[in-house]
A and B are shown apart, each in its own frame.
Chain A
Amino acid sequence: MRLTLALSVGAAVVIGAAAACGGGPPPPPPQPAVDSTAIRDSIARARADSIARDQARRDSLQRMERIRREREDSLTRIRAETERVRNALANMVHFDFDKSNIRPGQDTQVLEAKLAILQANPNLTIRIVGNCDERGSDEYNLALGQRRANAAKQYLVNRGINANRIMTESRGEEQPLNPAHTEDAWTQNRRDEFSIVSGGDMLKMPSGMGM
């Protein structure tokens, strides 16, 4: 009997519950039971969302960091490249005693490298300064230094560089690299020096000139 009652109560509860679910005259909804599922779901969703957002934020930060790094890397690369180009540009051309002709071989190669750099960097303007050893007339050496600077300029202009991109100067024998009075010193001092006038902040290494 007790069992039957219990069953019937249970049935009533079940029916009641079924009635509640099935609509009809709405009893006050048995809140606790319904809540637990929905909240769990929503919490899970919220958590997932939050994780996703965090992830997205982290991703974005990482991406930005990566971009920043890449940009930095590329700046470093550009700087390094610029530096290498500048170094290549600073290579000097040397001359025989009392001569201003560009010697075939190493000096021509040095000038070819400068030609490529000037071609790869159209905004670059340079200055060529001609120098002499201490022998020869002091006054004549100013003229000779000028001729040496002009010779290098002419080489580049003949190969298509706009003459306006190359300034020339002479220091004669006034600024020796090596102040000694020896054949070695004289050889070092008979030279063209190259420097950047403008457009040298960011320089591209010409292709085929990996250094």
Chain B
Amino acid sequence: MTASRTLTAVGWWVVGVGVAATPLHAQDTVPPAERGVRIGITYTPGARPGMLVLGGPRDGFQDSVRALLRRDLEFSDRFEMISLPGGDTAVLGVSPPADSSSSGPGFVNYGLYQALGAEYSVALTPSDSAFEATLFDVRGETVRRRLRVPHMAVDDPAFRLTVHQVADELVRAATGEPGVAASRLVFVSHGRLYLLDSDGAALTPLTQPGITTFSPAWDDSGSRLAYTILTDGKGRIMVRDLASGTERTVPPTEQGLNYASAFSPDGAVLAFTRSGDEGTDIYAYNLPQDCCLQRLTVGRFSDNLSPTFSPDGRQIAFVSNRPGLTQVYVMARDGTGQELFAPFDYGVTGSSNAPEWSPDGRFLAFHRDVAGFPQVFVMETRSRTVRQLTSAGRNYDPTWAPDSRHLAFVSERTTRRQLWVIDMETGRVRQLTQIGDTRLPAWSPRLSQPTAAASQPHDQ
């Protein structure tokens, strides 16, 4: 915990001036160390490059942007965030450019940043009509990337997404891979569907209370959601266009119990699970042509459910209890060539459920019972080697972030049913939600424009 406490110190410096509009993670509320007292830093160099977010003038908008950027960079889990207890504006601020006609920061104290262990630093400075976020390569003593941050109202629905996108680009500039800040999660809490920013803020209800929703899923463009409405033992699947807010029932799901759906990567096919007198099987329906319901599995004596498409759209992984307990299987998109996917030891391995293919296709996440407790597992799809990611408490229903290295999942490690995020590379975990009974999460792809969710009625 030492690391995270010291890491939060600069965060607090940034947060110090009211950023009430951007609710922050609990860690950000650590009280400040004494002002004006220089103490050493407790940074321990690790595999991850050091990242220093520089201070700046105290201005509501800049403070909000800086706080968001800093947290997004931290949540990318790709940097060792460096902070000074108390935060020293005089040393860590960036002076304005000497030549007022040029944009960007003026004097940059690379030597100091190097001494602090930083390999990168980020500064936010005013420019002509907006602000500029600059990523410095501290070792190379150069500017790596400059990004414009338009000035906008902090409560503008586009504000958070815009800043998240800047953060993702900063991550890309530093590491070659963009971050995942500009993405959202959809999940169910007490029957209601909610959207949440990837940093755990901007909780937005999508459905009215009193309607029991189930198993939401994103399409690959991040513009549509499919989810089930459960009523009196029936389950119909809705497809909602997030930009317009319109939705419709997928016609063949007006009868029976239909759930656990998945869009094909091209968005044309919705695969879903149907339970009835004949058991539980996977079906596929062509959305744009509004036709061609196809049954992909014929269980007879086993259940087949929870389809997930491979990113190339050619395969569908699913679970089946044909070996007794449910295990992960795979088949071609048309239902042919069904075979075991995730290896297991008969009579030893617990049941495996809720598979989700990673966006890059390399992994399949699922949860598997270990001594009566579900744990999140990841299988490397080519070698089919399986790795257990969690062990504390009950952890289930994993869903991939767009970077194929972060996963959100339901955990009961502290309280009942909260969403947590794990970084597969570092093993770092953080709690994402604070509201109760959250489950069935689905992480969006990277979002390019704000979804219309903000225009939905807020009637909590």
Binding site for B on A (CB under 8 A): 98, 129, 135-140, 142-147, 150, 153, 163, 168-171, 174, 181
Contacts and interface: CB of A to CB of B under 8 A. Distances in A.
B374 interface: yes
B276 A139 contact: no
A138 B275 contact: no
Interface in B219-237: 230, 232-235
A163 B260 CA distance: 28
Given A138-B439, A170-B257, A146 B351 contact: no
Nearest to B234: A169
Nearest to B324: A98
Contacts of A135: 372
B389 to A, nearest CB: 16
Contacts of B351: 98, 136-137, 140
Contacts of B439: 138
* Most central of B273, B277, B325 by chain A CB within 10 Å: B277
Contacts of B326: 137, 140
A18 B280 CA distance: 114
A-B complex: 3 closest residue pairs judged by Cβ atoms: A169-B233, A137-B353, A146-B275
Interface of B: 212, 214-215, 230, 232-235, 257, 259-260, 273, 275-277, 279-280, 303, 305-306, 319, 325-326, 351, 353-354, 367, 372, 374, 396-397, 416, 439-440
Given A98-B325, A142-B259, A174-B230, A137 B276 contact: no
Given A150-B279, A171-B233, A143 B396 contact: no
Contact of A143 (B230, B233, B303): B303
Nearest to B258: A142
- The majority secondary structure among interface residues of chain B is strand
A99 to B, nearest CB: 11
Contact of A142 (B257, B277, B325, B367): B257
Contacts of B234: 169
Nearest to B233: A169
Given A143-B305, A174-B230, A169 B277 contact: no
A139 B215 contact: yes
Contacts of B215: 138-139
A139 B416 contact: no
Nearest to B188: A138
Contact of A140 (B235, B257, B306, B440): B306
A187 to B, nearest CB: 15
A95 to B, nearest CB: 15
Contact of B354 (A129, A139, A153): A139
A169 B280 CA distance: 12
Contacts of A129: 233
Contacts of B372: 135
Nearest to B235: A142
A171 B212 CA distance: 11
Nearest to B276: A146
B261 to A, nearest CB: 10
Contacts of B273: 139, 142-143
A169 B257 contact: yes
* Most central of B280, B351, B416 by chain A CB within 10 Å: B280
A153 B233 CA distance: 16
